[in-house]
Structure 1
Amino acid sequence: MYFAKGFLFLLPQTFLLFLLQFGFSQDTITISKPIRDGDVLVSKGETFALGFFSPGASTNRYVGIRYYRAPEQPVVWVANRDNPINDTSGVLSIDVHGNLLLHVEDRNQRIWSTNIVTQSSNNSTHAQLLDSGNLILVLNKTSEVLWQSFDYPTDTTLPNMKLGLDRTTGLNRILTSWKSKDDPGTGNCSYVLNTNSSSPELYLYKSNILWWRSGHWNGFGWSGVPPLSHPNYLFNFSIVNNQTETTTSWVELLPEIFSRLVVDESGSIQRFLSREGDQGWFSLGSAPLDRCDNYGKCGAFGKCQLQNDTEFECTCLPGFQPKSPSEWSLRNASSGCVRKRGQASICKSGDGFVKVENVKLPDSSFARVDEKLSLKECEQQCLENCSCAAYGVVDAKEEVGCLRWYGELIDTRVLNGGQNLYVRVDALELGHSMGFFANKRRLAILVVGLLVITSLLIFQFAHFLIKRKRKGRGRQPTLNSDVTASSTTFQDSQKLDEGIENLDLPFFDISTILAATDNFSFAKRLGQGGFGPVYKGQLANGQEIAIKTLSRSSRQGTEEFKNEVMLIAKLQHRNLVRLFGCCIHKEEKMLIYEYMPNKSLDLFIFDEIEGKIMDWRKRFEIISGIARGVLYLHQDSREKIIHRDLKASNVLLDATMKPKISDFGLARLFRDDQIEANTNRVVGTYGYMSPEYAMEGLYSIKSDVFSFGVLTLEIISGKRNNHYLTGSPYLNLIGHVWDLWMEGKALDIVDSSLAQVYSASEVLRCIQIGLLCVQEQAADRPTMAEIIFMLGNETTLPQPGKPAFINKRTINYGQDSSSSTRAPTSLNDVTISVIEAR
């Protein structure tokens, strides 16, 4: 993608020898015309060919699509990439259900299938290879396309092929690298269109770690990719982002060229170009190109700019300084930057914005987007919200649209042809950056401005006192109310106001919530959580929301509500649920979250039917996503936070099944130098609480690690930790897994719905990590940073010690030993158990 010269590695040709020998022109597979190993399907214009091949030095056989007339005939799609055939007996045909089926003829062994549900028979469909490189399965009578290879890309994207999410079907098209040049199996690198924000970006992952991003779409193209990487005289790029789909694609403008984009096993994206008659393929560029391309190279609020080899490339944005100067002196900027002293509570004190020119704007998943605002209106919107750290323009072509960042500014780098970023700073930093004090006239303006601001603050304080006095009168119990209950509610509300009155969080009017939920219609009710009922709503702008209400009968009260508002308002991470705001109306209190269409994790992993749609790859991604979310809480957020109630029902799933940790009502803040704390009120859920917390009230980051370990084992097994396991003498899942681990039979615990379609080594690694997390001694458990490393790297892991809570049960054969009480499965709401210490 970045401009660079080079050639694609040479791939061997195997099945094309058949083309040269026999000159087949067939482009269609029917019931009477299957494709056997040695046969070749060629598109009508002879642009692409389909057949069996063996990559590199491998002898395994795969069905793939290659270029036909282009140099070197590179493979662009593989059907059975993870299930090769070890001989030449493969056949690709139409089966009795009208599906395209790859099987071994002699042994009647199924290798791969389009696997669509249709009423069609084998006489009613045919498969055709198009000149676009798309293999389609078509209904004969209506010409309806039932399936297409473009919807299931491997490592290559071609012109007119979409990447991204089809919101009507849930299909998400991503690229994944080959394992090696000799193995087209699903590799460790993936290229994904992030659809979780209002401003999509392309992400490159390596071993589940975010490696590089494209920047948002700015009207010309991807803002983090220089114009030379996508010249407009060769290609036309487009993006669609609506309620139906969020996708990106590109087309060639010159008919005589061939082009493709490939993600390879080294963690690189490359765009290649060739023409018929050329000797090879030219690389138009690749990403990541340099050190500053690595995601988050300079940490939060850092800026990366390549210098000469002797100078460190990282600096802090205006108004910020290194969080750890000692690490920065060693050229390690991963800890990022923090506001300079005296600016921690910057807000409406003469503050303004410093323009940082020609940069790749920060990760837009931490930003809010309004495509209708002008740049001036964007500045005003940002200035009015104390949490707004920076702003920039969405569409650089039309100079319209507003990006506002309310969390950390991550992955900012200097880039030729980049955009302007406006970073919020206080008056002193603003004056320093703009040479303010070099001009006496400007100094006079500053003095007058400060006087005006002081007057406004005095006025606001007086207004606040009057408003608070009126609120107190308005909350007095009515004659028809229960006096005791009303007085308690009034005191709770007063405590709540004192905690969040000045918190910079959007407050929703009750009329907005009533309109969004059809007056809290029963049809909008999602379920019952620990706070109270949870409703689905839709705002006037189309944004779907979840409203969690605090019922009067809830076991959780004002403190938990206040705690959740004050904590989660400060958090911004893709694996944490996003809080849009709150609503307080008289005695009613509500939290407004982003809506999670797939509800909670326990709905899938503990349900035999739903569990079947969650394959091992998805489960592993969920485990890794939860780990990244907890690591953010422990280490990377502005505050060090212990969740204290991490469990399956508190992990919500978005439209693409990405996990988001929710429910911070029981969370607690830690100082950076604090190791553990003690509480007289033990809260949480049985089965997830660490022994030192459950028994002694001691909690630390290792308490969350224990809960993560339990959750990992539950995701792998599809069983609850605190439920009786048939055939096991142990009281819980931990004991059962430990017993199997010691016997060398740990894979016996794997959820039967996975049907042995998983990587045994990867599953064993996750089981071992889970057991390391639930060790009895907190000091023996790994940190979340170590867990992330263990999940993403094939290193030797330490052997786990004895877990906590693995006492064996005594079975009384005179009673029904299999009976147990089954906890209810949550919906989009969450449940919390509160246990008072004796």
Structure 2
Amino acid sequence: MIIVGVLLVSFTLLSHMNQFLHLFESPTFEIYPELGRDSQLMTDPLGFQYLHSIYTFSLNPCSETNTNMKVVFVIFFFFLFQFCISVDTIMRRQSLRDGEVILSAGKRFAFGFFSLGDSELRYVGIWYAQISQQTIVWVANRDHPINDTSGMVKFSNRGNLSVYASDNETELIWSTNVSDSMLEPTLVATLSDLGNLVLFDPVTGRSFWESFDHPTDTFLPFMRLGFTRKDGLDRSLTSWKSHGDPGSGDLILRMERRGFPQLILYKGVTPWWRMGSWTGHRWSGVPEMPIGYIFNNSFVNNEDEVSFTYGVTDASVITRTMVNETGTMHRFTWIARDKRWNDFWSVPKEQCDNYAHCGPNGYCDSPSSKTFECTCLPGFEPKFPRHWFLRDSSGGCTKKKRASICSEKDGFVKLKRMKIPDTSDASVDMNITLKECKQRCLKNCSCVAYASAYHESKRGAIGCLKWHGGMLDARTYLNSGQDFYIRVDKEELARWNRNGLSGKRRVLLILISLIAAVMLLTVILFCVVRERRKSNRHRSSSANFAPVPFDFDESFRFEQDKARNRELPLFDLNTIVAATNNFSSQNKLGAGGFGPVYKGVLQNRMEIAVKRLSRNSGQGMEEFKNEVKLISKLQHRNLVRILGCCVELEEKMLVYEYLPNKSLDYFIFHEEQRAELDWPKRMEIVRGIARGILYLHQDSRLRIIHRDLKASNILLDSEMIPKISDFGMARIFGGNQMEGCTSRVVGTL
């Protein structure tokens, strides 16, 4: 009969099937890229208004059709859903036994039974489903474990999601404990991809209970810490008892209700560490807290609630914040590559982080082994000087004895980069400016200090905080914190002003001295290097070029515009070695009678050819100097251009322009390359050679006879223009001289 009824209802709802398909889907929750005070996440943190738009058909309670549809849906829900099992949802008549789990829609989180380590005690909780390392983020029965695997999770007859010790449901271990009058018969429990277990009505979209409102030791993204003003809901973190016991520990992170809201970590009832007050973008006690980029922080303080939440703009980032049983708070991020949790930041981590480390009216500076980290606030002195000298700061500081109590000439000393004192007893006014705050503090003799409530990038300082008694837990930071103003009498104010001016003058004097010293040292170093280079080059050139009638100027002023009167550069050996890759065989272009030729590239990307004279070659110093002297004074389109030379130790090298097409003999005698020289191209090459020889014999300032003209000494550039090279054997003739005599036989046979 049930099946027949289900079929009848199914046919009745056939025309509305597309809408009902949405009804059976698992709730999804968008990860908002930004968190602001007006964001939907803050007013509807779990997106149930959004869910309501998905799961309902815009039912109008005054519409008879919609009312009938709602009744039909309820019938359909009870009869059909008991035959369906959702991956992320526990239905009203379903149960979850030990060994079974439900997964969130994106399979990011799991809900079910678990044990810790070798313990046989069973707990019900939520953990990361895709992380191999067991990481529990919420525990339902943390203080009441089950002794065996007979536990079960199901809805009670009154509609609360409950954990029972056995199938007979006689021993209740844990329950959502929602008032019976609030519950609906269509309730389901769904695990979201945020890690939130939600008890809600899919018809109305109304949420009745959620695990995010009852956190244990872990603060997940988009969860809220704080309290609601109307119903008194307190969302706080409580550490585990130990690593293997998730029971309620001694450490509690709670939003302080007194004064200006702030998060304080308590050990029992004693403050252990203070996260500080909200500065507009982060908590003053956590300068490491990231702003923007992947993590976004949001703080809400209105008539309904006071809460803090953070989000991630990249859904692939897995992160969590937790309170450790050792008394520390950590932000972890999952490193998938290494399969481990990375400690993103943690507090407290130094003495100055400990609550009220320097006692009343004292403040803590970054600890140093040489100095005491505690200092009295301006206008105060150690209450117990002997103890203070022995570095016992528990007694704190008290007003200086000779200080006036209240005067019209009082002023304020500004302390920068401060974690302002505990605001539990501070008075708050969010509707006045910082200037008005100062005036009100001056008019009230009980006011001892003031500061802005928080700071916004666009509006600047907002609100006013005033202290009227002892100031606890103040400290300084190197590059964080906010401005804090301490009330002092006129004598103390004058002393601080003098110290401030002298300090500024001292810093300015030190800065000027350092700049002058650096400039002087730079000038001296420059002069020393310059003189050393001059000395080295002078020795090198004088040792090898004393008889040469031309000058190697070290100014390195080579002009590439083919100017006639130019100075020949002298290259450094290290420059040549770097350009040729230490005379690599891969850069070798060939070898002549007097040594190999290498291709090189200078730092300015200019390509060069380096002729390196072999130590055993027949070309000695005279031929080398002769070639340098001649080519440096010749300029013609058909003569190879010399760029410089290098003479160091036993090395003698000439630096030419690089000609990519090698020498003429490569094309004439190579079987394949020979085909590239057609007769017109050959004629152009012959004419170019003839023009070069004509220039040497008639048109140049010096009449030069090459004496070693051959195909291997004719180089070709990228446009196949010939250039005569290798002037080591050349002779200079007089203007009217037609012939000459030699004592040496030169040339190539």
TM-score by length of 2: 0.53
- Matched position secondary structure for 2:386: helix
Change (3 A) 1:102 1:233: same
- Matched position secondary structure for 1:83: coil
1:123 deviates by 5.0
Which of 457, 480, 496 in structure 2 is aligned with 1:433? 496
* Residue identity opposite 2:445 in structure 1: C
- Matched position secondary structure for 1:388: coil
1:119 deviates by 4.0
Distance 2:398 2:223 in 1: 42
- Matched position secondary structure for 2:439: helix
Which of 201, 209, 233 in structure 2 is aligned with 1:147? 209
Who is 1:257 aligned against? 317
Q: Is the 8 A contact 1:357 1:421 kept in 2?
A: yes
Distance 1:273 1:25 in 2: 30
1:188 aligns to 2:250 (yes or no): yes
Distance 1:154 1:170 in 2: 18
Bigger RCO (CA 8 Å, 6+ sep) = 1
Q: Is the 8 A contact 1:25 1:44 kept in 2?
A: no
- Matched position secondary structure for 1:377: helix
Distance 1:369 1:231 in 2: 25
Which of 326, 332, 342 in structure 2 is aligned with 1:282? 342
* Residue identity opposite 2:98 in structure 1: D
- Matched position secondary structure for 1:257: coil
* Residue identity opposite 1:192 in structure 2: R
Change (3 A) 1:431 1:274: same
- Matched position secondary structure for 1:86: coil
- Give deviations 1:404-423, integer Å, cap 9, x for gaps: 11111111101131111111
1:231 deviates by 3.3
Change (3 A) 1:231 1:436: closer
* Residue identity opposite 2:122 in structure 1: R
Who is 2:274 aligned against? 213
Distance 2:150 2:109 in 1: 23
Change (3 A) 1:311 1:35: same
* Residue identity opposite 1:418 in structure 2: G
- Give deviations 1:476-518, integer Å, cap 9, x for gaps: xxxxxxxxxxxxxxxxxxxxxxxxxxxxxxxxxxxxxxxxxxx
1:127 aligns to 2:189 (yes or no): yes
Distance 1:120 1:325 in 2: 62
- Matched position secondary structure for 1:185: strand
Change (3 A) 1:312 1:142: same
Which of 257, 262, 270 in structure 2 is aligned with 1:201? 262
* Residue identity opposite 1:88 in structure 2: T
Q: Is the 8 A contact 1:71 1:278 kept in 2?
A: no
1:438 deviates by 9.2
Which of 408, 413, 418 in structure 1 is aligned with 2:475? 413
1:422 aligns to 2:481 (yes or no): no
Change (3 A) 1:147 1:131: same
1:293 deviates by 0.5
Larger Rg: 2
Which of 390, 393, 398 in structure 1 is aligned with 2:449? 390
1:266 deviates by 0.6
1:122 deviates by 8.6
Change (3 A) 1:93 1:316: same
- Give deviations 1:518-563, integer Å, cap 9, x for gaps: xxxxxxxxxxxxxxxxxxxxxxxxxxxxxxxxxxxxxxxxxxxxxx
Distance 1:339 1:181 in 2: 46
Distance 1:437 1:167 in 2: 45
1:310 deviates by 3.6
* Residue identity opposite 1:304 in structure 2: C
Distance 2:272 2:462 in 1: 29
Matches within 5 A, 1:767-806: none
* Residue identity opposite 1:357 in structure 2: K
Q: Is the 8 A contact 2:184 2:201 kept in 1?
A: no
Change (3 A) 1:332 1:437: closer
Who is 1:232 aligned against? 292
Unpaired runs of 5+ in structure 2? 1-84, 503-749
Who is 1:270 aligned against? 330
1:246 deviates by 1.0
Matches within 5 A, 1:244-643: 244-274=304-334, 276=336, 278-343=338-403, 345-397=404-456, 398-416=460-478, 417-435=480-498
* Residue identity opposite 2:461 in structure 1: E
Q: Is the 8 A contact 1:58 1:183 kept in 2?
A: no
Distance 2:261 2:286 in 1: 14
Which of 114, 126, 129 in structure 1 is aligned with 2:176? 114
Distance 1:268 1:278 in 2: 24
Matches within 5 A, 1:72-87: 72-87=133-148
Q: Is the 8 A contact 2:332 2:341 kept in 1?
A: yes
Q: Is the 8 A contact 2:281 2:298 kept in 1?
A: no
Q: Is the 8 A contact 1:97 1:122 kept in 2?
A: no
Q: Is the 8 A contact 1:213 1:224 kept in 2?
A: yes
1:316 deviates by 0.4
Change (3 A) 1:244 1:98: same
- Give deviations 1:245-304, integer Å, cap 9, x for gaps: 111111111111011110010111101112555511111111112100001000111010
- Give deviations 1:50-78, integer Å, cap 9, x for gaps: 11111133221000100112352410000
1:309 deviates by 1.9
- Matched position secondary structure for 1:328: helix
Q: Is the 8 A contact 1:349 1:427 kept in 2?
A: no
- Give deviations 1:2-33, integer Å, cap 9, x for gaps: xxxxxxxxxxxxxxxxxxxxxx9711112332
How many residues are paired up? 413
Distance 2:188 2:335 in 1: 31
1:379 deviates by 1.3
Who is 2:230 aligned against? 168
Q: Percent of counterpart pairs with the same letter?
A: 45
Change (3 A) 1:260 1:182: same
Q: Is the 8 A contact 1:126 1:137 kept in 2?
A: yes
Q: Is the 8 A contact 2:360 2:471 kept in 1?
A: yes
Q: Is the 8 A contact 1:30 1:125 kept in 2?
A: yes
Distance 1:278 1:119 in 2: 50
Distance 1:381 1:305 in 2: 29
Who is 1:49 aligned against? 110
1:171 deviates by 0.8
Kindly report the root-mean-square deviation, in angstroms, between the aligned alpha carbons of the 2 structures: 2.0
Change (3 A) 1:311 1:201: same
Q: Is the 8 A contact 1:97 1:120 kept in 2?
A: no
Distance 1:353 1:71 in 2: 57
- Matched position secondary structure for 1:223: coil
Change (3 A) 1:341 1:106: same
Distance 1:376 1:253 in 2: 37
Distance 2:501 2:226 in 1: 52
Distance 2:313 2:184 in 1: 39
Q: Is the 8 A contact 2:428 2:465 kept in 1?
A: yes
Matches within 5 A, 1:61-76: 61-76=122-137
Matches within 5 A, 1:728-743: none
Matches within 5 A, 1:27-38: 27-38=88-99
Change (3 A) 1:110 1:373: same
1:160 deviates by 1.1
- Give deviations 1:185-242, integer Å, cap 9, x for gaps: 0000000011222x2110001122101111111112112211x322321211111111
Distance 2:453 2:269 in 1: 28
Q: Is the 8 A contact 1:177 1:187 kept in 2?
A: yes
- Give deviations 1:373-398, integer Å, cap 9, x for gaps: 22222211111111111111222232
* Residue identity opposite 2:133 in structure 1: E
Distance 1:179 1:82 in 2: 10
* Residue identity opposite 1:104 in structure 2: A
- Give deviations 1:450-471, integer Å, cap 9, x for gaps: xxxxxxxxxxxxxxxxxxxxxx
